[in-house]
A and B are shown apart, each in its own frame.
Chain A
Amino acid sequence: EPEVTQTPSHQVTQMGQEVILRCVPISNHLYFYWYRQILGQKVEFLVSFYNNEISEKSEIFDDQFSVERPDGSNFTLKIRSTKLEDSAMYFCAGVLRTDPNYGYTFGSGTRLTVV
């Protein structure tokens, strides 16, 4: 079964540093999402991406966040100046929507620790 791949699996960074989280979605998916999950808490929507554009973003997705699909395959989430409260699991997800039973496929996640 096709998978969504995320790298790195774990990243530790100092406060104020920039991080880039990477996702390789399933090739025929068209809609992409980033979510985050602070330890022990619910999964929160960050941003959606379709046709090489942001289609929706949450209040969490402020100016320090950006998302790109630089080469048509990889999909990145950049946090420009990390804060302690950015420590969380970050998941990318994709969906195709041509099958009535379509599901949202989540990647393995990147655990970000800001120290």
Chain B
Amino acid sequence: ELKVEQNPLFLSMQEGKNYTIYCNYSTTSDRLYWYRQDPGKSLESLFVLLSNGAVKQEGRLMASLDTKARLSTLHITAAVHDLSATYFCAVPNLQGAQKLVFGQGTRLTINP
């Protein structure tokens, strides 16, 4: 059974600092997704990572994928308050209907 684990689950950081969120998954998959969720809102797609060594960047966020290690990272550079949100990684289960299996989420709070 595919399991997806994120750490840390809670992260409080100051503006201007860098930090990394980690996402491990237990069985082989062909892609990984990162989503952002603001309180009470839906899931906003950030990145889809398709292959080993894939790296994507959007503003202060950069995501990477190591399929051999079954590990993805979401790196935040010079954090700003607007990035405060909960971040989820999700991996499709390649068996059956390819449902997305989500990590627990990382609640990121960026303080001025």
Contact = CB atoms under 8 A, between A and B. Distances in A.
Interface of A: 31, 33, 35, 41-45, 48, 50, 55-56, 89, 91, 93, 95, 100-109, 111
B33 A106 contact: no
Contacts of B35: 106
Contact of B33 (A31, A33, A41, A103): A103
A42 B43 contact: no
Given A33-B100, A55-B97, A43 B48 contact: no
B97 A109 contact: no
Contacts of B43: 43, 91, 106
A13 to B, nearest CB: 19
Contact of B104 (A42, A101, A105): A42
Nearest to B99: A45
A42 B100 CA distance: 12
Contact of A31 (B48, B88, B97): B97
Contacts of A44: 102
B41 interface: yes
Given A48-B97, A56-B96, A105 B50 contact: no
A47 to B, nearest CB: 9
28 contacts: A31-B98, A35-B100, A41-B104, A42-B88, A42-B102, A42-B103, A43-B43, A43-B100, A43-B102, A43-B105, A44-B102, A45-B100, A48-B96, A48-B98, A56-B97, A89-B40, A91-B42, A91-B43, A93-B100, A95-B98, A101-B48, A103-B45, A103-B48, A104-B45, A104-B100, A107-B42, A108-B42, A109-B41
Nearest to B46: A103
A104 B88 CA distance: 13
A48 B93 CA distance: 12
B83 interface: no
B101 interface: yes
A85 B50 CA distance: 36
Given A42-B105, A103-B48, A105-B45, 10 more contacts: A31-B98, A35-B100, A42-B102, A43-B88, A55-B96, A56-B97, A93-B100, A102-B48, A106-B45, A107-B42
